[in-house]
Structure 1
Amino acid sequence: MAAKIFMDMPGGLKMPALGLGTWQATNESELEKALNIALEIGYRHIDTAFVYQNEAIIGQVLKKWISSGKLKREDLFITTKLPISGVHEDRVEFFMKKSLANLQLDYVDLYLIHFPIGIKYVEGQNLPIGDDVQTEKSDHIAIWKKMEEQVDAGRTKTIGLSNFNVKQIEKVLKSARIKPACLQVELHVCLQQRQLVKFCHQHGIVVVGYCPLGCPGYNKFLTSIGQEPRQKLPDMLHDSVIKKIGNKYKKTNAQVMLRYLLQRNIVAIPKSVTPARLKENIDVFDFSLDSDMKSLDDLEVGEEARIGDFKLFPKLMVHPEWPFPK
């Protein structure tokens, strides 16, 4: 089964089917080096978010590449996201402009609502944890109208959603003048979200999978913010079933997992700042899994395998717009 190199989006836009995720990449010299290598070897799809606190670093690198003539702006596909503290109709444009200033761009290709629940915005505060979170009512229809205005103003080519469930997407679809072009959610062999993916594909919504290789550094992240490490996290990079399939094709576990998503018509955005892994992750278009897809389908665990469960924010879990099963 062939995997698409690009996914068609509204307005003739083409999203590269493999992109570079940048969550937790905040070391300036490390990220600059990784981005330069990624662009040299062919990455053209860069995924960031206001809350990642690395838009400005990405912007510096992109500016050098574009101003030098090595790349044209239209060669790139740049995604960023409206933060949780911006999920309110009065703050969409405010954060859109902040992101564009950080990225030193006139427009992004895709702007996503990062999460279906909004929290109170406090100047200078990035993402409060625990009891400091103050949630707000989230009027998705009103917020979506403001997202549409960003397209009208030329600040973004397309708009979409992240971490929304089917019910929430349906509500936006019913009222939308500009339909969501994309849904970005956690997707990997252990969390396949088949009903959600099927719904999106039936409605012409491109699905982007984050954490496509799991998140080996997630416990390090938790301890860095004073949280207890998780006991059970899926370790797919060392899974014996995936390894056996990889040996058959002379590919790594990571390459098999990325190929699996691509063959399901899902865009994958693996995060890495390691040169060897950057090269490994993009080298997935020269083989096809075919009959091995079934073995990978059987690795489905479901909700227990969700890594980014947002349970760092217990107040979000009691909000009426909490998107995940409880």
Structure 2
Amino acid sequence: MADKVPSTRLNSGYDMPMLGLGTYNSLKPNEMGDVVKAAIQMGYRKIDTAWSFETESEIGAAVKELIQEGKIKREELFIVTKLWVHFREPDQVEPACRLSLEALSTDYIDLYQIHFPMAFEDVEVTTPNMIDYLDTWRAMEKLVDKGLVRSIGVSNFNKEQVERILKMDGLKYKPANNQVEMTPYLAQEDLLQFSLKTGISITGYGSFGAPWHNYIPKDAPKILEDPTIVEIGKKYNKSSAQVILRWGIQRGFALVPMSKNPSHLAQNMDIFDFKLSEEDMKAMLALDRGYRINSLLLSAFKDHPFYPFEK
């Protein structure tokens, strides 16, 4: 099934699968390893994690086991992880990367991203500081030169923040990817078109509104139940989840949906045998209401100069 998944060529020269597995830690302890093994054997080749997800070690153990069993080769996988907000001093970047490398049991990371533009003194995200992400970016570039990572990128950066990186003096490596919240209710069309134009790929997370995450408000809209999406799904005999993922692929961005349900994992992969019409694509885009879920973590820090979301 892996050969069904299209790839995009990053500006770093490497190919990244357009569909992968998200691994945010909302599962029981040691459950993620089993999910990763099932997903890889099902055809998933991109595994997306972050230091803050606390899933790197489980992923590393699962991948190592499959490699030892001869079921996969490391070079067939595309592993993504992220630098957390309290590792942002330039001299902290390489040690943090090496922690992730060790946890993932790998010699290199395919894509390493700055998780948020804002930096904090603490892992709990309570005390922000003024470390400039440009200084962090220069340290990230050194990771590429040392062969620790193949591509570097950002996450949760807005257009202006990405432009600031592109304009920095002595820029050696452009961001290869910007991972942002991207749903039918938060289409981010301007950011997407800017990114595609400048050769920076986009990965969308939270595709279904992350209904299972513990930080989601109880009154959050249920994207999977949206009448427009449900009706489009009936037209193609596909689920709402499949319609949303297909919509993303056709818009030109990668996706990393998460599920611990084997049937849902298979269903999420089964989106390459149909194509949404132009009319349906427009109807989906018309659902955009600027509704953002992942601003809650930083909502107390809207006055910070590197706050990335709408104020």
Q: TM-score range, shorter-chain basis? A: over 0.9
User: CA offsets per residue over residues 200-240 of structure 1, 9 Å max, x none?
Assistant: 1111000000001111123xx13xxxxxx625422111111
Residue 193 of structure 1 is matched in structure 2 by 188
Q: What amino acid is the match of 1:273?
A: K
Q: CA deviation at 1:10?
A: 2.9
2:162 paired with 1:169: yes
Q: CA deviation at 1:37?
A: 1.2
In 2, Cα distance between equivalents of 1:163 and 1:289: 28
2:69 paired with 1:60: no
User: CA offsets per residue over residues 165-204 of structure 1, 9 Å max, x none?
Assistant: 1111111111221110000000011100011111111110
User: CA offsets per residue over residues 236-283 of structure 1, 9 Å max, x none?
Assistant: 111111111101111000000000000000101101111111111111
In 2, Cα distance between equivalents of 1:26 and 1:98: 22
* Percentage of matched positions with identical amino acids: 39
Q: CA deviation at 1:11?
A: 4.1
- Structure with the larger RCO, 1 or 2 (CA within 8 Å, 6+ apart): 1
Residue 226 of structure 1 is matched in structure 2 by none
Q: What amino acid is the match of 2:153?
A: G
Q: Give the 3 Å change call, closer, same or farther, for CA 281–152 of structure 1 in structure 2.
A: same
Q: What amino acid is the match of 2:302?
A: M
In 1, Cα distance between equivalents of 2:105 and 2:286: 44
Q: Give the 3 Å change call, closer, same or farther, for CA 157–300 of structure 1 in structure 2.
A: same
2:10 paired with 1:13: no
Aligned-residue Cα RMSD (Å) equals 1.6
| Partner residue of 1:152 out of 145, 150, 160 | 145
Residue 45 of structure 1 is matched in structure 2 by 46
2:258 paired with 1:263: no
User: CA offsets per residue over residues 92-134 of structure 1, 9 Å max, x none?
Assistant: 111101100110110010000000011114xxxx424xxxx11
Q: Which stretch shifts more, 288-297 or 145-154?
A: 288-297
- Is 1:4–1:265's contact at 8 Å kept on the other side of the alignment? no
In 1, Cα distance between equivalents of 2:32 and 2:288: 32
Residue 308 of structure 1 is matched in structure 2 by 294
- Is 2:157–2:178's contact at 8 Å kept on the other side of the alignment? yes
Number of aligned positions between the proteins: 305
Q: CA deviation at 1:315?
A: 4.4
In 2, Cα distance between equivalents of 1:4 and 1:41: 12
Q: CA deviation at 1:296?
A: 0.6
Residue 127 of structure 1 is matched in structure 2 by 124
Q: Which runs of 5+ in 1 are unaligned?
A: 223-228
Runs ≥4 residues deviating over 4 A: none
In 1, Cα distance between equivalents of 2:310 and 2:11: 31
| Partner residue of 1:296 out of 271, 284, 296 | 284
- Is 2:18–2:255's contact at 8 Å kept on the other side of the alignment? yes
Alignment partner of 1:248: what SS? helix
In 1, Cα distance between equivalents of 2:263 and 2:226: 20
Matches within 5 A, 1:1-326: 5-121=6-122, 126-128=123-125, 133-175=126-168, 176-218=171-213, 221-222=214-215, 230-291=217-278, 292-302=280-290, 305-309=291-295, 311-326=296-311
In 2, Cα distance between equivalents of 1:181 and 1:32: 27
In 1, Cα distance between equivalents of 2:179 and 2:25: 17
